[in-house]
Structure 1
Amino acid sequence: MVFPSSSPLVWILAGEASGDVLGARLMHALRARVPNMRFAGVGGVRMQEEGLVSLFPMRDLAVMGLVEVLPRVRQLSARLEEAAQDIAAQKPDLVITIDSPGFALRLLKKISGLGIARVHYVAPQVWAWRQKRVKEFPGLWEELLCLLPFEEKFFGKHGLKTRFVGHPVLQSGAKDGDAARFRDRHGLPESAKILVLMPGSRRSEAPRLLPVFGQMLRLLKKNMPDVVPVVPVSPVVASVVERATQDWPVKPVIVTDIHDKHDAFAAAGAALTKSGTSTLELALAGVPMAVTYRVNPITAFFARRLIKVPFVAMVNLLAGRAIVPELLQEQCRADVLAREVQILFEDKEVAQTQKQAFATVLHGLEGPQGQLPADAAAEAVLEVLNRKNTAKTLG
């Protein structure tokens, strides 16, 4: 590798919990190849454990939805300016933005005149909705690292340099949990039916699902009195969950540690989750699930007219068919969810059919040449850095 110094500086940004995990793995893989690499930028607990001193709290960026973002516009604009100024001042060798396209792509555009190499990790899901936005992307990055195999072709046909690096869920450890350890740690008997509830990693989304989950538990208690809800959330959202679940008929086990979360997966008989990567984590752990989600009605109104794919659950999208139920918006009701949970626990054929489909989906997410996704991403990043620095040297 041709670097301008013995310790290249990479400015890296993640805007939410899943991106924080990706960023931490990528930082670790990069340092394994370039031990003196330095990092600056914005990240959460996991990236800070890898040595990042975050420019500002990552939670300031963790917001989604057309309506939900409006009250935060001024703060987000200020954070955007702060990040751009920091990049200009530090003059890193490379900038990496991870997911969070609403913020990350604006940042990449804002720094486009600085002559710094840029990589965006996790493709914007414009293939799902607002496909015309792809015309805005040329010039934003030197390379786009994508997680889903079909994305390479989609963005490639629009002339964007894209590389499929495999899906990081395969490195998550979600399948390595210990059910007995989870029950022992939380004092749960073998008779307890563990129900995983995943309301989302953002402060703005979790409160939309938690009330309906509480109502569902009241209905379930009549037929399944031994159900114990487990809510894995990021530390950022834990206090929100604690307040919102105080009146639940069954006290939930709130899990913030990633290993405890995986142990919960191993102990679980069923799960209700928001759409997104959480469906792949549960699939890897072999947990039968249903997907549910509720957003502001105005957000839902516009989203339904813009979405171009037949499914919102990632496992369904990758399978090309409905292997798990999608109970969205009007179907996100206590009675509907309670009925579905009971089926997942009691109908062994339904659970087994889901698990068989999960295996096929996950096989398609493996990285090139069997590499771990973080390793494939690190090598792609270093190639971009090397090309940029070679060009500078020759220039």
Structure 2
Amino acid sequence: MKVFILAGEPSGDNLGGALMAGLKLLCPDVTFDGIGGARMQAQGLVSRFDMSELSVMGLAEILPRYRALMARIDETATAVLEMQPDVLVTIDSPDFSLRVARRVREKSRIRIVHYVAPTVWAWRPGRAEKMARWVDHVLALFPFEPPYMEAAGMRCDFVGHPVVAEPVASDAQAAAFRASHGLGDAPLLLVLPGSRRSEVARLAPVFQQVVARLAEARPELRVVVPAAESVLAEVKRATRTWAGQPLVLDPTAGVAPETEKRAAFRAADAALAASGTVSLELAAADTPMVIAYDMNWISRQIIGRLLRVDTVTLVNLVSDTRAVPEFIGANCRPGPISQAVLKLLDAPQVQQQAMALTMQRLGRGGEAPGLRAARAVLEGCGKAAQSPVG
């Protein structure tokens, strides 16, 4: 079986690596061509070019490289057509992936699978119908997504979210984290201001005021800020003047930064976090949370008019509850956020059922998402899957 597979950013590379491992297990004669990063290359892919060329976000960043990106799209589509694979698998990065898919579909009937459904349930529902013109099959991360894709005419399989396959720190590792940083038994709050510079710039001043209010109300509270490498300098600079001398976790220091981050998640009593997939990481660690997010005025107006759901927090959406308090846009204010965090510290158990239900619905305890995705791809292609050994 021949598979052309492509990813354009690290999260897609992680999904692609797990999918490739699953395909190798279920279909040992599979061969791969395409574009990917370290995880996909570890599974045997020889990437046609460096995936980092595609990891571009924002109009200001894309414009200077527009011609180069269009050339890569044409080059990739040509490679697919020359290979004539049994299936083309495009992973997330729709600006790149779906342009490749369109060019391939215009000249062939090669089966096209797109991994990660667009968030049509949240906004811009017309994207599903548009995508259906050149995509045959969608692999979804969330259990409520298939009906939206199927209504547009595509096959869609829920294959589970990768967060359920990630390791979670043990109680012993959490205790060791507290001991190594001299945190003792003090109540511990994680503060996660985002992984993009624009997020940190907008949220850090608000979170600083929240931390100051919490320090007055709970002098014993300790604050830990796990910083993403992409914004480490910004986070360090922003937190220098925060109350209580928060501990910033540097992902470039030490031998196992991911292990320390997971231990911090497990050790925390509560978290204040920017909106995003981090809410699922916190739920996986059984750490209750308050979500806050803001954007510029124009984005507020546009997204506010387009949004089709009453919550943007993934734990709320997957569990079909509103257990996680969120403060979005104009509601992202220090006073209400501080009160919500204090309430959460006093009664963290109110979110436990919603977090457990979220993990269950995302596939925890079942077959690994990469293997489920591989099985769905093979079924869609009419290929028989071999039973995995071991």
Normalised by the length of structure 2, the TM-score is 0.83
Who is 2:362 aligned against? 365
The one-letter code matched in structure 2 to 1:30 is L
Q: Is the 8 A contact 1:208 1:295 kept in 2?
A: yes
Find the aligned partners of 1:30 and 1:233 in 2 and give their Cα distance: 34
Find the aligned partners of 1:209 and 1:103 in 2 and give their Cα distance: 30
Find the aligned partners of 1:112 and 1:233 in 2 and give their Cα distance: 41
Query: CA 1:248/1:50 → structure 2, altered by over 3 Å: closer, same or farther?
Result: farther
* 1:293 Cα deviation after fit: 0.8
Unaligned runs of 5+ in 1: 388-395
Local SS of the residue matching 2:323: coil
Alignment of 1:224-263 (within 5 A): 224-249=218-243, 250-256=245-251, 257-263=257-263
Q: CA RMSD, aligned part only? A: 2.9
The one-letter code matched in structure 1 to 2:175 is A
Query: CA 1:83/1:246 → structure 2, altered by over 3 Å: closer, same or farther?
Result: farther
* 1:175 Cα deviation after fit: 6.0
Normalised by the length of structure 1, the TM-score is 0.82
Find the aligned partners of 1:183 and 1:49 in 2 and give their Cα distance: 34
Who is 2:387 aligned against? none
Q: 1:151 aligns with which of 141, 145, 161?
A: 145
* 1:302 Cα deviation after fit: 0.4
Task: Judge which range, 32-41 or 293-302, deviates more.
Answer: 32-41
Q: Is 1:183 aligned to 2:178, yes or no? A: yes
Local SS of the residue matching 1:340: helix
The one-letter code matched in structure 2 to 1:311 is T
* 1:143 Cα deviation after fit: 1.3
Q: What are the Cα deviations for residues 215-245 of structure 1, in whole angstroms up to 9, with x where unaligned?
A: 3223322233343333335433434433443
Find the aligned partners of 2:107 and 2:259 in 1 and give their Cα distance: 41
Find the aligned partners of 2:170 and 2:41 in 1 and give their Cα distance: 24
* 1:10 Cα deviation after fit: 3.1
Q: What are the Cα deviations for residues 128-149 of structure 1, in whole angstroms up to 9, with x where unaligned?
A: 1111232211232231001222
Find the aligned partners of 2:236 and 2:33 in 1 and give their Cα distance: 34
Local SS of the residue matching 1:321: coil
Query: CA 1:76/1:253 → structure 2, altered by over 3 Å: closer, same or farther?
Result: farther
Find the aligned partners of 1:366 and 1:188 in 2 and give their Cα distance: 36
- Aligned residue pairs, count: 370
Query: CA 1:302/1:284 → structure 2, altered by over 3 Å: closer, same or farther?
Result: same
Find the aligned partners of 2:233 and 2:133 in 1 and give their Cα distance: 41
Find the aligned partners of 1:132 and 1:89 in 2 and give their Cα distance: 29
Query: CA 1:151/1:218 → structure 2, altered by over 3 Å: closer, same or farther?
Result: same
* 1:380 Cα deviation after fit: 1.9
Query: CA 1:252/1:189 → structure 2, altered by over 3 Å: closer, same or farther?
Result: closer
Q: Percent of aligned pairs with the same residue?
A: 36
Alignment of 1:18-97 (within 5 A): 18-34=11-27, 37-43=31-37, 46-47=39-40, 50=43, 55-56=49-50, 58=52, 61=55, 63=57, 68-70=58-60, 72-75=62-65, 78-89=68-79, 91-92=82-83, 93=85, 94-97=87-90
Local SS of the residue matching 1:123: coil
Alignment of 1:308-319 (within 5 A): 308-319=308-319
Q: Is the 8 A contact 2:6 2:34 kept in 1?
A: yes
Find the aligned partners of 2:31 and 2:13 in 1 and give their Cα distance: 18
Find the aligned partners of 1:253 and 1:330 in 2 and give their Cα distance: 28
Who is 1:218 aligned against? 212
Q: What are the Cα deviations for residues 99-135 of structure 1, in whole angstroms up to 9, with x where unaligned?
A: 2334432332244335344221110011211112322
The one-letter code matched in structure 1 to 2:93 is S
Local SS of the residue matching 1:225: coil
Task: Judge which range, 287-296 or 21-30, deviates more.
Answer: 21-30
The one-letter code matched in structure 1 to 2:352 is K
Q: 2:353 aligns with which of 353, 356, 363?
A: 356
Who is 1:132 aligned against? 126
* 1:280 Cα deviation after fit: 1.8
Q: Is 1:381 aligned to 2:377, yes or no? A: yes
Local SS of the residue matching 2:112: strand
Find the aligned partners of 1:157 and 1:21 in 2 and give their Cα distance: 28
Query: CA 1:57/1:38 → structure 2, altered by over 3 Å: closer, same or farther?
Result: closer
* 1:377 Cα deviation after fit: 0.4
Local SS of the residue matching 1:295: coil
Who is 1:391 aligned against? none
Local SS of the residue matching 1:272: strand
* 1:316 Cα deviation after fit: 1.2
Task: Judge which range, 106-115 or 371-380, deviates more.
Answer: 106-115
